[in-house]
Amino acid sequence: MTDTLTIRRPDDWHVHLRDGDIMRGVVPYTARQFGRAIVMPNLSPPVTSVEAGAAYRDRILAAVPDSIDFVPLMTAYLTDASKGDELARGFREGVFTAAKLYPAHATTGSAHGVTDVANIMPALEHMAAIGMPLLIHGEVTDHDVDIFDREAVFIERTLSGLVRELPELKIVFEHITTADAVAFVDGSGPNVGATITPQHLHINRNAMFAGGIRPHAYCLPVAKREKHRLALRDAATSGSAKYFLGTDSAPHATSAKESACGCAGIFNAPYALESYVTVFDEEGALDKFEAFASENGPRFYGLPLNEGTVTLERAVVSVPKTIDANGTSIVPFHAADEISWRLVG
């Protein structure tokens, strides 16, 4: 039995680091585990200009502990008014690595998102021409569509047409949650990849209702039926280069989660690698973990692989009930539970 695993230093291809005091509290968790991270732009106001992206990057860098090398990769938030020229300038200047498409009102901080992909087609054509990846929150926002079907319907109504129209555009289908998304990604060309979160590998929708309402198991896209979780575990551990690590760690104060209208988002940054590797271990696929965590992402983005390594060992880790993020109490994923792997360093 493999009891220790040393892999090339991994990256997180989808994370929310927030801003201000909470940011200073959560950045060290991500920086301790990952060489780089794709940082989501859904701040208030969102990061839409090159200057805002550069300033946010500086604030994140100032929160990274001195002893750690960590590179935040910034993203532009697409709105109906996004212009290809501004995105291209950010990409050329090395500020923006990618741009994020939130359908308007799909999730937290998406009120300024895109109301119709047709409105940003010129910008997307420009991105395709310069090789700038598009990152997609893939859910329709139509309230007549059942919340558990919104990802599958997005594929039908929006994503398949977009991929057909712009096959040269690199697209990351973010935080996929369904067998439908796996089938779509598998059936698409090499320009379509996907991130998978630890929570969608561990929990199905029952976790939100286990003995009562469980706000800390609620994120968007919401966890689906067991058959979908199993399809995601197969995809992540398959060895396919199309799938890579993206935690979607989304910290919210405990009080904002435990509320009559609790926020969507699961804070998984403190034990992200431990959480993922447990899944690969359970699936008998530890040999596939390095590709998923450290190789497929940078290859998709056209970036160099990290130097250096991290080591995980089989050991029981008790996850605390809450974590203090610079004065804000946040309940982490796996709170008050045990994981069977530990990050050694």
Strands (E), 150-239: 171-173, 192-196
Indicate the SS3 state at residue 254.
Answer: helix
Tokens of 273: 């690698």
Contacts (CB under 6 A) with ligand DOR, residues 245-274: 250, 264-265
DSSP category for residue 336: T
Tokens of 289: 């973990």
Indicate the SS3 state at residue 226.
Answer: helix
What does 264 bind: ligand DOR, Zn ion, none (CB cut-off 5 to 8 Å by kind)?
Answer: ligand DOR
HSE value, Cβ hemisphere, 13 Å, CA-based, for 197: 30
The residue (of 12 and 248) whose beta carbon lies closer to Zn ion is 248
Shortest distance (Å) from residue 313 CB to ligand DOR: 30
Strands (E), the chain: 4-8, 12-15, 36-39, 71-77, 96-101, 134-136, 171-173, 192-196, 243-245, 309-318, 323-325, 328-330, 338-343
Please select the residue that binds ligand DOR; options are 9, 54, 68, 108, rule is CB under 6 A: 108
According to the binding rule CB under 6 A, does residue 332 interact with ligand DOR?
A: no
According to the binding rule CB under 5 A, does residue 248 interact with Zn ion?
A: yes
According to the binding rule CB under 5 A, does residue 12 interact with Zn ion?
A: no
User: Which stretch of DSSP H or E encloses residue 140?
Assistant: none
**Which of 80-88, 105-113, 188-196, 202-210 is the region at the interface with ligand DOR (rule: CB under 6 A)?**
105-113
The residue (of 219 and 293) whose beta carbon lies closer to ligand DOR is 219
**Which of 49-57, 81-89, 101-109, 157-165 is the region at the interface with ligand DOR (rule: CB under 6 A)?**
101-109
Backbone angles phi, psi at 99, to 5 degrees: -125, 145
**Which of 93-101, 107-115, 121-129, 276-284 is the region at the interface with ligand DOR (rule: CB under 6 A)?**
107-115
According to the binding rule CB under 5 A, does residue 151 interact with Zn ion?
A: no
According to the binding rule CB under 6 A, does residue 38 interact with ligand DOR?
A: no
Indicate the SS3 state at residue 210.
Answer: coil
According to the binding rule CB under 5 A, does residue 139 interact with Zn ion?
A: no
Write each residue from 129 to 148 as x if it is in contact with ligand DOR (CB under 6 A), else as -, in one continuous string: --------x-----------
According to the binding rule CB under 6 A, does residue 207 interact with ligand DOR?
A: no
CA–CA gap between residue 31 and residue 306 (Å, rounded) = 13
Residues in Cβ contact with 313 at an 8 Å cutoff, skipping those fewer than 6 apart:
3, 4, 5, 341, 342, 344
Amino acid at 247: T
**Which of 102-110, 184-192, 228-236, 296-304 is the region at the interface with ligand DOR (rule: CB under 6 A)?**
102-110
Shortest distance (Å) from residue 16 CB to Zn ion: 6
Question: To which residue do tokens 């590179």 refer?
Answer: 71
The residue (of 16 and 32) whose beta carbon lies closer to ligand DOR is 16
What does 136 bind: Zn ion, ligand DOR, none (CB cut-off 5 to 8 Å by kind)?
Answer: none
According to the binding rule CB under 6 A, does residue 16 interact with ligand DOR?
A: yes
Q: Would you please indicate which residues are annotated as catalytic (active-site) residues?
A: 248
The residue (of 39 and 231) whose beta carbon lies closer to ligand DOR is 39
CA dihedral sign, ordered 299, 137, 179, 275 = positive
The residue (of 8 and 18) whose beta carbon lies closer to ligand DOR is 18
According to the binding rule CB under 5 A, does residue 180 interact with Zn ion?
A: no
The residue (of 77 and 289) whose beta carbon lies closer to ligand DOR is 77
DSSP category for residue 10: P
CA–CA gap between residue 329 and residue 335 (Å, rounded) = 12
Instruction: List residues near Zn ion by CB under 5 A.
Output: 248
